[in-house]
Structure 1
Amino acid sequence: MPDTIFASSVFFTLSIAGDDLGTFHTCDGLGAQLEVEQFAEGGNNGFTWQLPSRISWSNITMTRPVTSDSGKILTWLNKVIQQADRKDGEIVALRPDLTPLVRWQVLGIIPIRWQGPSFDPSRSQAAVETLEFSHEGLQAS
C-alpha cells in the first residue's frame, strides 16, 4: 500500500544520544528556511542572482499523552542542566504496524521547553505533555 494511506495514523519515536524518550503522537516544526542574498550582475538586465546564504531550522515540538515514558524527559532535562552539551538524536515516523515510515537524524539538540500535563478532573481530556527543542540541522537517513 502507498505510504500516504497511513498519514493520519503516524506516530513518532524520539531518541537523543541513544536514550529512547518514547513515543509521541504529534511532531511539528520539521522545517528550514534558507536566506537568499540578491546580486545584480553588471551587464545582465534579465535577472538578479539569488545566492543562498544562511539556513534557519525551526524548533521541533512533540506532544503525547502522559505515559510511563514521561519521566524519561525529566531525566534528559536534568542531564542537560548538569552539562549543557548538544546531542544528536533521531525522530522516526512509524506506521500503525510499527514499521518505520521515515527517519530524520536531528543534529545538536538542546531543549527549549517542556510543558507537563494539566490534571483537571472536571474535563474529560487526556493529560498531555509537550516537548520543544532547537537543533542545528536535519538529515534524512
Structure 2
Amino acid sequence: MAEMKDPAVSVCFKVKIDEFPLGMFNSCEGLGCEIVLEQREEGGNNAMIWQLPTRMKFTNVKLSRPIGEDSKHLTSWFASMMSGVKPTTMVISAMTADETVVAEWSLHGVIPVRWTGPSLNLDTAKVATETLEVAHHGILPGGA
C-alpha cells in the first residue's frame, strides 16, 4: 500500500529572494494567474463568439507573519531597494509543521510593491504582524 502524504493541513511558508532567506511566513495569498481572453463575434453566425487567448496576468502575492527575529531580514532586503529596484527570483516553499516541503513555487521578476509593518497599540491584545506584497512576471516551470 502506498504511503500517505501529509496534505499540508498545517502549513507555513519559507521564503527566499535569490539566495537571501526572508524567513518563515504563516500566510500566503494571491498565488495565481489568468489568461486574458479577447472575444470576437463571427460574422454571419450569431451563435458563435470566439474566445482568443491574448496574454497571461499574474496576481500580486501577499505574505504575512507575526513580527520576530526574521523581520530584520525583510526590512534589510526592502532597504536594499533604495539604490534601485532590481527584479529577482522568489522561492516560496510550503512546509508542514516538521518542515517537510510539500510544494514550492519560483516566481520570476519579483518586484516589491508594499511592506506593511505592525500596528502597535497598547489598547488591543492583537499579535503584531507584518505583510509583504510583491508583483512578479510569472511562475517558473518545475517549482525551483
TM-score (norm 2): 0.87
- What amino acid maps onto 1:93 in structure 2? A
* Offset of residue 41 of structure 1: 5.1
In structure 2, the residue matched to 1:136 is 137
Shift of 1:23: 0.2
Q: CA deviation at 1:65?
A: 0.3
Q: CA deviation at 1:124?
A: 1.6
Supply the AA of the counterpart residue of 2:64: T
1:39-96, Cα deviation, whole Å (9 max, x unpaired) = 4456777643322111111100010000101011111112122121101110000011
Question: Does residue 73 in structure 1 map to residue 77 in structure 2?
Answer: no
User: Aligned to 2:94, what secondary structure does the other structure show?
Assistant: strand
- Stretch deviating more after TM superposition (126-135 or 44-53): 44-53
Give percent identity, aligned residues only.
37
Pair 1:64-2:55 in alignment: no
Look up the match of 1:52.
53
Name the SS for the 1:74 alignment partner.
helix
Aligned to 1:94: 95
Structure-to-structure mapping, 1:1-141, within 5 angstroms? 1-4=4-7, 6-7=8-9, 9-40=10-41, 47-139=48-140, 140-141=142-143
Gapped regions of structure 1 (runs ≥ 5): none
Distance 1:94 1:81 in 2: 32
**Cα deviations by residue, 1:106-132 (Å, 9 ceiling, x for unpaired):** 011111110111222222221100111
Could you list the runs of 4 or more consecutive aligned residues of structure 1 that deviate by over 2 angstroms after TM superposition?
Answer: 1-4, 38-49
State the AA in 2 paired with 1:110: I
Q: What is the Cα-based RMSD across aligned positions, in Å?
A: 1.8
Tell me by how many angstroms 1:35 deviates: 0.7
Please report how far the alpha carbon of residue 2 of structure 1 lies from its aligned counterpart in structure 2 after TM superposition: 4.0
